[in-house]
Structure 1
Amino acid sequence: MTSSSKDLAPAVRSRLSLYLDLIRWNRPAGWLLLLWPSLSALWLAHGGFPGWHLVIVFTLGTILMRSAGCCINDVADRDFDRHVKRTAARPVTSGLVSVKEALGLGAVLAFLAFCLVLTTNAHTIAWAFPALAVTVIYPYAKRYVSMPQAVLGVAFSFGIPMAYAAVQASIPLEAWILLIGNLFWVLAYDTEYAMVDRDDDLRIGMKTSAITLGRFDVLAITGFYLIYLAIWLAVSWQHVPGPLLLLAFAVALAQVVWHHSLIKNRTREGCFKAFRLNHWLGFTLFAGLLLSY
């Protein structure tokens, strides 16, 4: 190996490390929040195991699109993030990764996700475009919409109708009902997330559900969780009624009670912990469906 190659290796590793930090590679909770409802929808749409092809497509596609979303979000929020303690050191905000680099990486990741979608069917391919549009719109919604978490809820729930499209080549009403239910889950956990940064967001003029809800934030979050569980139980029960499904939803309800205890005092630590562990709630419902089938 030449000396120039030896000098290049650390630089490449350093760049790769920055890119992995940009897409939150060491924080899988983000893509797990998208994955579990998508897989649950696949099982419901197919009436059981949908085959490894669709499981792989939706798993890898979820990881790629969440990573692309992080790139877009960090570019859009770079001027705000430098004023927030939790986000000031992000690669784009700190200037370690340029805007052009971040957008380029995001485009590559989104393209790879689209290549996966091309292996499904025309209905799924068609719905990939509005899914991408919502992903791009969300970061800018925080400037104009008092509850931008609702926009995120649509973006994070689009895997549900796409799962039905991939399995059934159509999107029945059931898929949209599940999307609405999942939207309430996103409202719950992303409001917890917004509560962590509420002081900073108030100072810089960012709009979030935590600010909009004010002193009713904890009550609203609990209500969002309950609506989410009620809708998903009602739909799931039509497919696989039985004790295993009820057990899964009972465990999920226990997690909601635990989350309430974590956020009731509105501490940064408690709210962030509640948000960070939310993927277990989605996993619980998926496990209930998996075992019931």
Structure 2
Amino acid sequence: MQSILKISNLRAYYYLLRINQPSGLFLLLWPTLWALWLSGLNTPPLKIFLVFVLGVFFMRSAGCVVNDIVDLKIDGHILRTKERVLPSGEISIQEAKFLYIGLLLISCCLVCNLHFLTIYLSLFGLVLTCIYPFMKRYTHLPQVILGLSFSWGIPMAWVEVSNSITITCFLLFLANLCWVVSYDTQYSMADRADDLKMGVKSTAILFGCYDKIIISLLQLVTLLLLTLVGLLIGLHLIFYISILIACVLFIYQQVLINNREPDLCLKAFMQNNWVGLIIFIGIASSI
């Protein structure tokens, strides 16, 4: 691996792993933290917390690398992505593959510290990570696959802490799935023109002129399911205040995407990190 990876390319690896763009990392982290706190109704053990946080970082990075490998030819023709380190030729495909393998090996070492059932669940999460980049070629619903992938930390965390999967876990999973589809549709709205030229599929293209309405419905379902989770567990008032704040942020996102301007769609997408953080604060303060 040392003969392929180059110290002179450390900056390029930094960008390939999207360390400079932590928004995706946090969007994967927040629901995992929700589940870690809710499953035990307490602060999780430090070891479990660290394994999941590090796992989120390495698997998110692995997902970015494999996505860039698969999309190499597409990214070179899209304005927003053509300057990425792979399509620009700053690093080789071999370097990217070695990094991907290394990230997976580190993730495997981390998950081996968890219960057997959690390890078993992680295998399906790995499959989701690997197949997601190909979905935009075959279905208009790649955002659903991403939603499953970004929600998979929920059952893993739940099983690790409580050794069970409950209806509350399932509702939290569904809530996050709806949320991911809503914000990744916002993200894909920014690329819709380029995607249509390249023949790439997405929910933004599938929903067409109904995109804003469907996003708002997905956001509403997210809030309703999270509220139901809070009622089932018996969370305190501050959690419902966090839900109300999230609702206000969703309304603001609708204002941003109203004219479907790419830059504002991306801005709306970025707002979702605040949604995840606020809900986590509401959960952590209510148990």
CA distance in 1, matches of 2:205, 2:168: 32
**What code does the residue aligned with 1:207 have?**
K
Q: For residue 249 of structure 2, what is the aligned residue in structure 1?
A: 255
**Normalising by the residue count of structure 2, what TM-score does the alignment of the two structures yield?**
0.96
Identity %: 39
1:174 aligns with 2:179: no
The structural deviation recorded for 1:12 is: 5.1
**Normalising by the residue count of structure 1, what TM-score does the alignment of the two structures yield?**
0.94
Structure 1 unpaired stretches of 5+ = 1-10
Q: For residue 94 of structure 1, what is the aligned residue in structure 2?
A: 88
Q: Which of 101, 122, 147 is residue 153 of structure 1 equivalent to?
A: 147
Q: Structure 2 matches for 1:99-118, cutoff 5 A?
A: 99-118=93-112
The structural deviation recorded for 1:276 is: 1.7
Name the count of aligned residue pairs. 283
CA distance in 2, matches of 1:225, 1:273: 16
1:138 aligns with 2:132: yes
Q: Which of 44, 51, 59 is residue 65 of structure 1 equivalent to?
A: 59
Residue 292 of structure 1 aligns to a residue whose secondary structure is: coil
The structural deviation recorded for 1:240 is: 3.2
Residue 93 of structure 1 aligns to a residue whose secondary structure is: coil
CA distance in 1, matches of 2:93, 2:174: 34
CA distance in 1, matches of 2:53, 2:166: 22
CA distance in 1, matches of 2:34, 2:70: 31
**What code does the residue aligned with 2:55 have?**
G
1:81 aligns with 2:75: yes
**Alpha-carbon contact 1:44-1:236 (below 8 Å) kept:** no
Residue 161 of structure 1 aligns to a residue whose secondary structure is: helix
CA distance in 2, matches of 1:237, 1:82: 48
**Alpha-carbon contact 1:36-1:282 (below 8 Å) kept:** yes
Q: Structure 2 matches for 1:261-272, cutoff 5 A?
A: 261-272=255-266
The structural deviation recorded for 1:291 is: 0.6
Once the two structures are superposed, residues 32-58 of structure 1 have per-residue CA deviations (whole angstroms, 9 ceiling, x without a partner) of 001010000011111111121111111
Larger Cα-atom Rg: 1
C-alpha RMSD of matched pairs (Å): 1.3
Residue 85 of structure 1 aligns to a residue whose secondary structure is: coil
Classify 1:243/1:177 alpha carbon distance in 2 versus 1 (closer, same or farther; 3 Å).
closer
- Which aligned segments of 4 or more residues in structure 1 are displaced greater than 6 angstroms? none
